[in-house]
Amino acid sequence: MRRLAPWAAAALGAALVLWVFWPGYMSWDSAYQWWQARNNQFDSVHPPLLAMIWQLSDRVVEGPGGMLALQVLLLWSALALFASALRLPAAGRAFVVLFLGLWPPLLAMQPHIWKDLWTLAGFTWALALLAQDLRAPHRGWRAGAVLALVFACAFRHNAITGALPLLAWIGWREVAGYAPAWTARRRVLPTGVIALVLAVAVFVLAALPAQDGRVRHTERVWSVVTLWDAAAVSLAEGRLVYPPELVDPTLTLDELRQHFTDYSNTTIYVTGKLRHSFDAPYSPEQRAAIDALVLALPRDHTAAYLAHRARLAQLLFGWDRAALPDGQVMMAGLHAYGDNPPVAPQAHPQHARVLATLQALIDSPFFAGWIYLLACVGVALAGAMRANRSPGAGLAATVALSSLAYALPLALASGSAEFRYLAWPVLATLASALLLVGGTSVPKLFGQKLRD
């Protein structure tokens, strides 16, 4: 019963999510990736693996429903595997699965067909496999965790930062297993070497789907973020700071102000007067101009640039939740795109009740990212202090650091304040706290040579 309890809870939770939210939600980019799947045309702006999987699922269940089922099953099965590694009775393990899977922000994101949910599932599988490695040390668990991180990074360009602490942990476990008598200082160098090799391997393998011949490659995908940063600087300084190669000469400051929002880069492009790399390949002159601009903004316009980035961080991490539109948190609906067939929305009353409850919580502390990040700092410090006495505390600290490494770079790199970017940090915060408090079923002879 103790072994079956988390899996039974996961089956119940997954069935509940599918029943309430079927066939899922599609934002604009979700609908665009469905269009790519249907037309066998992919691009590198959105890592193409999601659309490639959608192409397969569409043969079984047309539309978002098949993808919803897959991402829900991936996430809930990972939660069950994670809970089964915890030193808890059957009821406790079942509670952990339902607690994590139904935590309001995580529940709110699950109906959306987003690459962020697939990245979340990949990270959660890595977490679960590493927790199992503590319970029954074996290189197979760690190898599986590396593959899970490849999967996670294949869906988001920035996920590698969150993977690095977990890869370092895997390297530490490898060294500890084969040299248990070594001091911590002696383990640092080989751990770093293993982590570096794994990071390169993860980065390369995660990029393989984009090498498919059907993928249209877009250079300088970050151009839309840089042009948005330049818009904020222009408005702050009262003059356009764009190089002439990147802007229509008829663009005015008032026109830019009319379309600018501090929470998303997309609105300024309705003018059609800013030249980003998505619409057409850059000329050599435009490439040189965007490269120069990305360096000039923080160097020559430091105050305005940092103020814009600080505002983005304020909105993304929930310091000003009232100023962030609810649509940046939940995009409940089924966006139409191109020749995609219409999809009937969910209509039963339970869906409406759950959706209303989640939307009412958007401005509550549940959706305040800074709280999770602050908690991760606490877990990382507490876990580091207890790591020598408890491997579970060491893994807790590592997962907390993964959350911070994933989230904090977004303050400088993100092009919007969408809450979905914090999917893994939210789950990592909760899971790391559980590891710190509850630990895992670690064998008494933890220092023994790890089994192959």
What would the pLDDT profile of 252-292 be if each residue is shown by its tens digit?
999 999 999 999 999 999 999 999 998 889 999 999 999 99
| Burial of 275 per CB tally in 10 Å (0-12, 13-18, 19+) | buried
Give the pLDDT score at 3.
Answer: 86
Strand ranges (E), 288-371: none
Contact present, 172 and 397 (Cβ < 8 Å):
no
pLDDT greater than 50 at residue 198: yes
pLDDT greater than 90 at residue 387: no
| Burial of 3 per CB tally in 10 Å (0-12, 13-18, 19+) | exposed
Mean pLDDT value across residues 347-362: 93
Select the more confidently predicted residue: 179 or 72: 72
Q: Quote the CA–CA distance of 247 and 251 in Å, as a whole number.
A: 7
Q: Quote the CA–CA distance of 286 and 283 in Å, as a whole number.
A: 5
247 beta partners: 274
Residue 243 makes CB contacts below 8 A (sequence gap 6+) with 289, 292, 293
Give the pLDDT score at 439.
Answer: 59
Q: pTM for the full model? A: 0.94
CA 195 to chain centre: 21
Q: Indicate the pLDDT class of residue 390, thresholds 50, 70 and 90.
A: confident
Q: State the DSSP string of 225-274.
A: HHHHHHHHHHHHHTS----GGGB-TT--HHHHHHH--SSBSGGGGGGS-B
pLDDT greater than 70 at residue 442: no
What would the pLDDT profile of 151-177 be if each residue is shown by its tens digit?
999 999 899 999 999 999 999 999 887
The closest alpha carbon to 36, from 58, 61, 68, belongs to 58
